[in-house]
Amino acid sequence: MEGARGRRGGGVARSAAEDGVRHHQARARFFSKVGDADRGAQPRRRRGGGVAPLASLSISESHREVCIPSSSAAVEGTAGETSPPVSDAALEVWRRWLRASTRRSLSSFMDQASSETHAPPPTPRPSPPRVLPPPPLSAARRAKGCRTAASSASLSRNYSTSSTNSQSPPEPRDSCRDDRSLDIWYTAKEFVKKYPVVLFAQPTDTHSQFHRWVYQEWFKPTVRSLLKCVSDHHASNLEFQEITTENVKIFCNADAPQFIPRIKIYCETRKATYEGRKQNFVQTGELITELIKSSVDNPTEVLDLLSEDIKDKLSMLKNPDLSHDADPRQCGVYILVNHPSMLRREMQSPFYLACYDLLMSVDKRIANRAFRKLPYKNWQSRALQHPLLKDHLINRRSSYGRDKYHQARYHRNVASHKTSWKSKYKAEEVDEIIHHHFPMILTRLMKVLSKMKLLIRLTLHNFFG
């Protein structure tokens, strides 16, 4: 019995020793293969030409486990021999050790990656804030308790009647850059000396008796915007204390594709009264006259040779008609703001044709009464002074009498047929010729239509753009 027990004890000891040897050999081969795989090494070939499979190592990120297959192929030798099978107890020991080692390695790796990924970016060096220089202040603005209203007379901006958000008037210098735009502002007199508001027009083939001083095309919308600014303040029950060349500034960007100066009024406003409204229009007329004088060397001669429609508008501003009507287009201010003398040259013929078509659509007696108000009793004599107008009067197929109805029809035909085959006159030249020979046609038609309550149907303001 004791001998049997001894033999069994020796067998158990040898079996444990053999298991230990196989355990260390398999462990060494396994970690050797795993190290080669991590370094990107190619698997070694068997002597028989086959490739020895490496131990597959799969890591689950959620559990951070290392799973090793328990098949005998995982611990197969590389020298053409097959190692003895590894016991399940030894594989379990390896798994436990690998789990603990992998957790520590992955934990340190993830902590390092997280610290590098979520590191805050370097704080940029703050740039100094851009401080714009304040607008220049006048002596009146610096005085305590001064309330200034800057009113913009511009085609492209809304007019402001607020005195709290108004701009400060510039210093009395010749010109200065506006910090809020590309415009340069000028004093009114200095600007018109650099850019005259009138020119001496001599149309093609026109006799010298019809040569006149007329508005520059850019000045027409500028004057209208100034008058509209005044009327808009009056509509808001405000009036300007005084409008002079000293408190009017002109803003302009001479390098822009379109030359569009803007006039701004810098003066105090107060609650409007009838006399105050009337005085504002009188002051505006005086301002326009002063700008005309300042832009020429011989102001007396220029005022004498001004076009008749411009003289009519300046005369209306000296004694403005502030009558009211249920429709604002029938009041006197509407005619002041939309006077035909401020129509652009290319819009004068369309305006006349609109008036003519309107009168032809009403009762014939009403139309004849309106036509009888047209100016120039000897209108045919004026037409004979120019070759083009003479050709329309005599050589065309139409025949005209001396009465005013035929005068209206004659103007309609000339405005509708400005050019002909191989004509030497361009359309804009024909408009200029008509205006110099018959400058009061449009103004008189506008006033007649206003008295006949037909100006509402004409929508005169649409012709100014």
CATH number at 219 reads 1.10.510
Mean pLDDT of 428-448: 95
Same domain, 416 and 362: yes
Work out the number of other CB atoms within 10 angstroms of the CB of residue 118. 7
Residue 13 lies in a domain: no
pLDDT tens-digit series, residues 229-253: 999 999 999 999 999 999 999 999 8
Using DSSP's 3-state secondary structure scheme, residue 45 falls into: strand
Structural domain contains residue 77: no
Range of the domain at 351: 343-465
Q: Kindly state whether residues 177 and 282 are assigned to the same domain.
A: yes
Beta-sheet strand order (sheet of 262-267): 149-153, 262-267, 248-252, 184-187, 175-177
Mean pLDDT of 429-433: 95
pLDDT in tens, 254-267: 888 888 899 999 99
Three-state DSSP at 145 gives coil
Are 272 and 368 within one domain? no
> Is 419 in the same domain as 281?
no
Q: CA angle 135-140-143, nearest 5°?
A: 100
Q: What is the pLDDT of residue 49?
A: 45
| 406 assigned to some structural domain | yes
167 in the same domain as 290: yes
pLDDT of 89 = 74
Would you say residue 5 lies in a domain? no
pLDDT at 85 (0 to 100): 59
Do residues 249 and 360 share a domain?
no
Average pLDDT rounded to a whole number, residues 414-424: 87
- Say what the pLDDT of residue 400 is: 92
C-alpha distances in Å from residue 103, one per residue of 112, 114, 115:
14, 16, 18
- Residue range 356-379, pLDDT digits in tens: 999 999 999 999 999 999 999 999
Residue among 328, 316, 336 nearest 224 (CA)? 336
Mean pLDDT throughout 52-70?
41
Residues 185 and 312 occupy one common structural domain: yes
109 domain-assigned: no
Which residues are CB-neighbours of 163 under 8 A, at least 6 positions away?
147, 148, 149, 268, 269
User: Taking the model in full, what pTM does it have?
Assistant: 0.63
- Residue 298 pLDDT: 92
pLDDT recorded at residue 323: 80
Structure tokens, 61: 């990120």
Question: What is the structure's pLDDT at 105?
Answer: 67
Residue 96 lies in a domain: no
Q: Based on the domain organization, do 376 and 306 belong to the same domain?
A: no
For the chain, how many structural domains are there in total?
2
Do 277 and 391 fall within a single domain?
no
Q: Are residues 183 and 302 in the same domain?
A: yes
Inter-residue contact 183 to 281 (CB < 8 Å): no
**Cα separation values, 144 from 141, 239, 265, Å:** 8, 22, 21
- Report the 10 Å Cβ neighbour count for 432: 20
Residue 271: predicted pLDDT: 96
Burial status of residue 456 (CB atoms within 10 A of its CB: 0-12, 13-18, 19 or more)? middle
pLDDT at res. 178:
52
Query: Is 215 contained in some domain?
Result: yes
pLDDT of residue 110: 61
Residues 273-307: pLDDT tens digits?
999 999 999 999 999 999 999 999 999 999 999 99
Average pLDDT, the chain: 75
Long-range contacts of 22-31 (CB under 8 A, 24+ apart): 22/83, 22/84, 22/86, 22/90, 23/86, 23/87, 23/90, 25/83, 26/75, 26/83, 26/86, 26/90, 27/90, 27/94, 29/75, 29/77, 29/78, 29/83, 30/55, 30/68, 30/74, 30/75, 30/94
Whether 145 has a pLDDT exceeding 80, the answer reads no
| Predicted local distance difference test score (pLDDT) of residue 371 | 95
Per-residue pLDDT at 118 exceeds 60? no
Residue 191 lies in a domain: yes
pLDDT at 106: 61
Cβ neighbourhood burial of 186 (10 Å; 0-12, 13-18, 19+)? buried
- In this structure, the answer to whether residues 313 and 364 fall within a common structural domain is no
Pairing mode of beta strands 149-153, 248-252: unpaired
Do 379 and 258 fall within a single domain?
A: no
Model pLDDT, residue 84: 55
